[in-house]
Structure 1
């Protein structure tokens, strides 16, 4: 764990983080349509988060990216809410506290950017992720917010900042 570093994404990270996210989604059996798997931005995450009030972090060990997560204003939503996006980790980065560290960095940035709340969409069987979300104060909500295009993700959560 001590050799894993969380840092902001760089342009040269794009290809590796896209492969990591797709592998995690495939391993979890997530639909390839209506989820992050199909996002056009997935192959260019550095550019996608290179905008106001957005940031994407990667977890790196040596030269290998093991996962990442980011925050960005919620798409197609009028209000001061951001979305926690593309938080996925390979097996070797799970169960060692890196998810909690990453969550802390993302929530810290969301507060720094002045957002009032953070929104998440996930899958029902991603129980470990939901456990972490609940631990830091996310609560289930009854309907999606904004329009992220992730119509295959039926679990929605919100955390007030």
Structure 2
């Protein structure tokens, strides 16, 4: 873990982060339909998150991007809820506490942006990710909130900010 750096996404990162997210989704056996895999925003992450009340952090080690995670407003809800989005890391980065650091930066941004809750969707079998989300205060929901378009994601969690 020599030179691990967490920073906001830059336009030059688009191709790398899209490739990493798709690679991890395939590795995890996530369906390509009804998940982040087919999101139009995946190929233009800088533009997607360069919006008010949105941020995306990339994690790089020695100048190489290894993953990331972000915050954006949750679509189709009347409440002041953000969504923790596109939290994916290559295997070499996992288990080192980096995911927790990225989540904390995202939650700090969400609080500073005056969101009242943070929502996320994941897959039921992603046990390590779900355990991490629970560790930082997310709790399970019985049904989805808002409309992310990720109908294949069948595990929903929320945290009061």
SS in 2 for 1:146: coil
SS in 2 for 1:22: helix
Give runs of aligned pairs for residues 58-137 of structure 1, distance below 5 A.
Answer: 58-137=58-137
Deviation at 1:2, TM superposition (A): 4.1
Give runs of aligned pairs for residues 1-161 of structure 1, distance below 5 A.
Answer: 1-161=1-161
User: RMSD in angstroms over aligned alpha carbons?
Assistant: 0.6
C-alpha contact 2:6 2:60 (8 A) present in aligned 1: yes
TM, length-normalised to structure 2: 0.98
- CA–CA separation in structure 2 for the residues paired with 1:63 and 1:126: 28
TM, length-normalised to structure 1: 0.98
Q: What per-residue deviation string (whole Å, max 9, x for no partner) do you get for residues 113-154 of structure 1?
A: 000000000001111110010001100011101110000000
Count the aligned residue pairs.
Answer: 161
Deviation at 1:63, TM superposition (A): 2.4
Unaligned runs of 5+ in 2: none
SS in 2 for 1:37: helix
- CA–CA separation in structure 2 for the residues paired with 1:56 and 1:133: 18
Unaligned runs of 5+ in 1: none
Deviation at 1:79, TM superposition (A): 1.2
C-alpha contact 2:2 2:61 (8 A) present in aligned 1: no
Q: What per-residue deviation string (whole Å, max 9, x for no partner) do you get for residues 16-49 of structure 1?
A: 0000000000000100000000000000000001
